Each structure stands twice: as structure tokens, then as C-alpha cells.
Chain A
Amino acid sequence: MSAVTLDDRLGTRWKKPPLISNSTLRWGLMIGALIYLVLAIASLDVNWARVAEGLSRGWAFVTSFFNPDFVSRGSDIWDGILESVIITITSTIVGIAISIPIGLGAARNIAPLPIYLICRGIVALSRALNEIIVAILLVAIFGFGPLAGFLTLSFATIGFLSKLLAEDIEEMSKVQAEAIRATGASWLQWINYGVQPQVMPRLIGLSMYRLDINFRESAVLGLVGAGGIGATLNTAFDRYEFDTAAAILLIIIVTVMVLEYLSGIIRAKVQ
């Protein structure tokens, strides 16, 4: 800064430099965002009479959280939760078992190009399709019941776990892997002693996290007929039995909290 401009600035307030230095672009973006906001809010068609009518129902729901009804639909709730847990466990285990080879294939540093492309394709497909949409298609094909839910969540687990596992393998330290290779190890031995010990803590952490996600997802699969607690929840909402719905939601929240706590302990242990 030359002396003249410094003199000019002395005594004037400091101003924060703008995030985007090009002023045309900055104002363009701001005005564009403003126009979008106005258009979007204007296109919202809110029926305030209906909202006002619903507020009392909303309040009834909030108060029912302090007075949840675990009993009157007790056996339905218990069966639904058990089914959700079963779907969660089986789909997580099968999903992990399938995503390990796919994760190995999707890591550019250990897989040849054709296998890499195929595995990346599977990962992309699994990540792009929403669980609910997959569940709808699988229910149409395999019929109602927990099998469709199990297949859906296994498929979703593959996309999530393989992608992160592959990224972890791509970032591993080459030194250890080379050391094992230098001993004349076979490919399987190389993976087992050179790669696996490096990615194992991360894999366990991610698996626990996925268990958590799968449980949450299994709670909604029932809405489209793929088994689990969602079906019971849906009926409870349809009949405006908010106390039962509150009981189910509380069970879900508590289970997720417990899972999160457990996974925290396990992750701290393996790292």
C-alpha cells in the first residue's frame, strides 16, 4: 500500500473485505438469490386455516410425548421393533461382507482399471438411488415383508461403505504394503498383512456408524411395506393415535442414542 492511500485511509473505519471480490458477480448472485427466495416463498401454497386447525393436533402430539402409550399396542410395537432390529443386523452384516471386496475393487491403487470402473459404477448406482425408492421396487419384485427391507439396506450399505473404504485404502501408507510385498507374499497375504491392518480401525468405525444409519432407515421402510416398525407407526398416525406414535418415536430415539454411545466406545477402543 503506498503512502498516499494509507494517508487517505487513516481515520476512516476498517471495512471487512468482501467474500467475492468481483462486484458484478457478487451483486448478481445476491440479487439472483433474492429473486429465487421471493419466487420460492410465493409459490408456497400454505393453507393457514388448515394449519390453525392442525395446531391443536400438533399440541396433542407434543403433550403425548409426556404420556406415551407403550401398552395398548404393546405387542405390535414389540414385533415391529424386533423386526427392525433383525433387518438392521442382517443387512449390516451382509452389506459389510459384500462391500469389502467391492471396496477393494474401487480403490485405484490396488485394482486394475476394468474392475475399478465396474466397482465404482456399483457404488455410484447404490448411492444415487434413495433407499425408499429401492424399497418400493424390491417390494414390487419380492413381495411384502422384511426380505425386501433387508435387501434394500444391504444394497444401500454397499454404496456407503465401499466408497469410504476405497478412499481409505487409497490413502494408506505404501511403505507397509511394500514391505509385505518384498517378503514375497501372495496377493491375499499382501491384502491380509499389508492393507487390512491399516484400514481395520476405520472399517470398524464406519460399520458401527452404518449400523446406526440402517436402524434409522429400517424405521421408515415399513411405510412402503418392506417390514419393520414403520408400518405400525404409519397406522398409528393414520388413526391419530399420537400416544402410540410418541411411544414408538421415543423407542427409536433411545435406541439411536444407545447405538451412538456404544459406537463411540467401540471406536475409541479400536483407534
Chain B
Amino acid sequence: MPVSQNAKGAKVWQLRDRNQTLIRWSGYLVAVAVFMWCWQRISEATTWFFVWDAPRIAADIGGRAWPPRWSYLDNLWAPLWDTLNMATLGTLLALVMAVPIAFLAARNTTPSAVFIRPIALFIIVATRSINSLIWALLLVAIIGPGVFAGLMAIAFRSIGFCAKLLYEAIEEIDEKQVEAITATGASRWQVMAYGIVPQIMPAFAGISVFRWDINIRESTVLGLVGAGGIGLQLQSSLNTLAWPQVTLILIVILAAVVAGEWISAKVRGAII
């Protein structure tokens, strides 16, 4: 701890010495400068007239959007069912693909740490860093609009997430149990089935439910790019400026998300 002397010769304790303090403050200065520069770019690209007008426009939209058009609710059951299916089947498909990738990526189960592990890790990062809307955009261009494209988008996007959490769980297993199974003369597959799988089962169940909950949220907006579900209704209502319908759809989406969260909390509580 640096100690400095003041004019009277008394020792004063300081948290950092002079150089550390200078480095710290220049760091803050750089951060502020970067922020100011970024802010300037944003403000150049903004039509400030619209921003000053924003309270009036917000009030206007609010006035048009209320009350929600409840009679439209009957048109929403089918898209809601599609949305649920996209989330659930997408999660299932993702898990099927994520399990082998997780085993290839975990340091203690990968067949080759030099060649196969980096490939598996790349798949994990790549699928995770591309947003489900981009996946949907891509898949709509390739296999055409509809629920199927949305389902595949959810599945591809979830692979990385599930595989990452799963391979971390595999790396954290208790090696003693694996050794015990190996000592009985079990084959590689038997070691996996009786030594590793039972240990990661709780993590696997937790991850599935957690991802399903996230996927319910994500599948509600996939329709915006043509991938089916309730987002399609949202898109068409927005395009025709039917604000009462938009309000109703937002309420339904909120209800679906809250219901999904509640179910996943219940299921997680039951298994863990």
C-alpha cells in the first residue's frame, strides 16, 4: 500500500500510488471520449425532428391502440399453437443435435482434442452468435416461409446454447464414477451410458427446460421475417396500422411468455 507524506510530514495512506491513479484516470478519459464519439455518430444519424415529436406520436399511438380489439382473439389461437410447436419441436431437435456435439467438445470425452474439439467449439460459437431472427431469415430464403423454417431456426440457434452448457456439465463430472465403471471392464459406450450420462442427466433436464422457456420468447417474433407463428399476425397488423390488434397481440405474447416462464419454473422445481 503506497503511503505519501503531506506538508506537515504526517503519513497519509492511499489506495493506489500516483502512476496507478494516473492510468486509472486516463482509462476513464478514454472511455468518456469513446462514448462521446459514438454518441455523436448516433446523433448525426438521427432525425431529431421526429424525436422532439416523440411524446405527441407516442400519445397518438397510445390513443389509437386502446382498447385492444378482443374480437380478434379468435384469429390468434392457430398462430399461438404454431408458436408453441416451433418452440417445443425446435428445442427437441436442437437437443438431439447438441448432445453429440457436447460430447465431442468436452475435454474428457472428445475423441481428438486437436482436430475434433475445435470444430465442435466453432459450431457452438457460430450457432450461438447468430440470432434466431437471422437464422429464420436465412431459412425462409432457403426452404420457404412457414412454421417449418421457424422450427429449424429455433433448432439451429439453440444447438450452441445447449451444447455449451452441456459440455461444461460433462467436464465437471466426478471422474471416480467413470473409473469405477471402467474398472468393471465396460466398453467405451457402456462407460458413457452408465458412468457419464446419469451424472449429467439433471443438468440436461435443466438446460432443456431453460432453453424451451427462451425459445417461447424467441418464436413469438420469428413471424416478422416470414417464419410463421404469432409474429406473422403482428407483422400484418403493424403493416395495416391496426393498432388495437397490435395491442391485443402484445398482450397475448406477454401472457404466453409469462405462462412459459411459470411452467418452466414448475418443471425445474420438480426435477432438481
User: Which residues of A approach B to under 8 Å, CB–CB?
Assistant: 36, 40-41, 43-47, 50-51, 53-55, 57-58, 61, 82-83, 86-87, 89-90, 93, 128-130, 132-133, 136, 140-147, 150, 216-217, 219-220, 223-224, 227, 230, 233-234, 237, 240, 245, 249, 252-253, 256-257, 260
Closest to B270 in A: A20
* Given A44-B151, A140-B61, A223-B137, 17 new contacts (CB under 8 A): A44-B147, A44-B148, A54-B142, A57-B142, A58-B142, A61-B138, A61-B142, A89-B35, A93-B35, A133-B234, A141-B61, A146-B41, A147-B46, A219-B134, A227-B45, A234-B137, A256-B128
In the bound assembly, the distance between CA atoms of A217 and B147 in angstroms comes to 23
C-alpha spacing A152/B154, complex, angstroms: 22
In the complex, are the beta carbons of A43 and B41 less than 8 A apart? no
Residue of A nearest to B258 (CB): A128
Contact A40–B89 (Cβ < 8 Å) = yes
Distance (whole angstroms) from the CB of B12 to the closest CB of chain A:
18
Q: Tell me the residues in window 21-50 of chain B with beta carbons closer than 8 Å to chain A beta carbons.
A: 31, 34-35, 38-39, 41-43, 45-47, 50
Partner of B38, one of A36, A41, A89, A253: A89
Q: Which residue of chain B is the closest to A132 with respect to CB atoms? A: B221
Q: How far is the CB of B61 from chain A (nearest CB, A)?
A: 6
Contacts of B137 in A (CB 8 A): 223, 233-234, 237
Given contacts A86-B42, A143-B46, contact A253 B146 (CB under 8 A): no
Contact call A40/B88, Cβ cutoff below 8 A: yes
- B130 lies within 8 A of A253 (CB): yes
- Contact check, A146 vs B42: say whether CB atoms are below 8 A apart: yes
Minimum C-beta distance from B227 to chain A (A): 12
Q: Determine the chain A residues whose CB is within 8 A of the CB of B224 once the complex forms.
A: 132, 136, 223-224
Q: Which residues of B contact A (CB under 8 A)?
A: 31, 34-35, 38-39, 41-43, 45-47, 50-51, 54, 57-58, 61, 81-82, 84-85, 88-89, 125-126, 128-131, 133-134, 137-138, 141-144, 146-148, 151, 217-218, 220-221, 224-225, 234, 238, 250, 253-254, 257-258
Q: Specify the chain A residue showing the minimal Cβ separation from B228.
A: A45
10 contacts between A and B (CB under 8 A): A43-B81, A43-B85, A44-B147, A44-B151, A45-B147, A57-B142, A58-B142, A89-B35, A133-B253, A147-B45
Q: Establish whether residues B61 and A130, one from each chain, have CB atoms under 8 Å apart when the complex forms.
A: no
- Contact of A233 with B134 at beta-carbon distance under 8 Å, contacts A58-B142, A133-B221, A253-B125 already known: yes
Q: Which residue, of A36, A145, A217, A234, has the highest number of chain B Cβ atoms within 10 A? A: A145
- The residue in chain B whose Cβ has the minimal distance to the Cβ of A143 is B50
Contact: B134 with A220, CB < 8 Å?
Answer: yes
Measured in the bound complex, the distance between the Cα atoms of B156 and A147 in whole Å is 30
> Which of B41, B43, B47, B81 is close to A83, meaning CB atoms less than 8 Å apart?
B41
- A56 and B142 CA atoms in complex are apart in Å by 8
A54 touches which of B35, B143, B147, B258 (Cβ 8 Å)? B143
Q: Most B CB atoms within 10 A — which of A86, A144, A227, A245?
A: A86
A47 to B144, CA, bound (A): 8
A-B residue pairs, 8 tightest by C-beta: A143-B50, A256-B129, A50-B144, A58-B142, A54-B142, A40-B85, A86-B38, A147-B46
Asked if A132 and B39 sit within 8 Å, CB to CB, the answer is no
Shortest Cβ gap from B65 to chain A (Å):
10
B143, B225, B257 interface centre (most CB from chain A within 10 Å):
B143
Closest to A249 in B: B130
Contact of A223 among B130, B143, B217, B225 (CB under 8 A): B225
Chain B residues with Cβ under 8 A from A144's Cβ?
A: 47
B57 close to A141 (CB less than 8 A): yes
Q: Which of B50, B84, B125, B221 contacts A142 (CB 8 A)?
A: B50
Are B217 and A141 in touch, CB under 8 angstroms?
A: no
Query: Contacts of A40 on B, CB cut-off 8 Å?
Result: 84-85, 88-89
B93 to chain A, nearest CB (A): 11
Name which residue of chain A comes closest to B84, CB basis: A40
Q: How far is the CA of A252 from the CA of B134 in the complex (A)?
A: 11
* Contact yes or no, A219 B131, CB < 8 A: yes
Which B residues are in CB contact (< 8 Å) with A224? Answer: 224
Asked whether, in the complex, the Cβ of A142 is within 8 Å of the Cβ of B54, the reply is yes
Chain B contacts of A260 at CB under 8 A?
A: 125
Bound CA span A130–B221, Å: 8
Q: Is the CB of B85 within 8 A of A51?
A: no
Q: Which of B50, B133, B220 has the most CB of A within 10 A?
A: B133
Closest to B32 in A: A93
Contact between chains at B45 and A146 (CB < 8 Å): yes
Residues of chain B contacted by A133 (CB below 8 angstroms): 221, 234, 250, 253
Q: List the B side residues contacting A93 at CB < 8 Å.
A: 31, 35
User: Roughly how many angstroms separate A128 CA and B133 CA in the complex, as a whole number?
Assistant: 18
Residues of B within 8 A of A129 (CB): 254
How far apart sit A43 and B220, CA to CA, in the bound complex (Å)?
Answer: 17
With A44-B148, A54-B144, A237-B138 known to touch, is A145 a contact of B89 (CB < 8 Å)? no
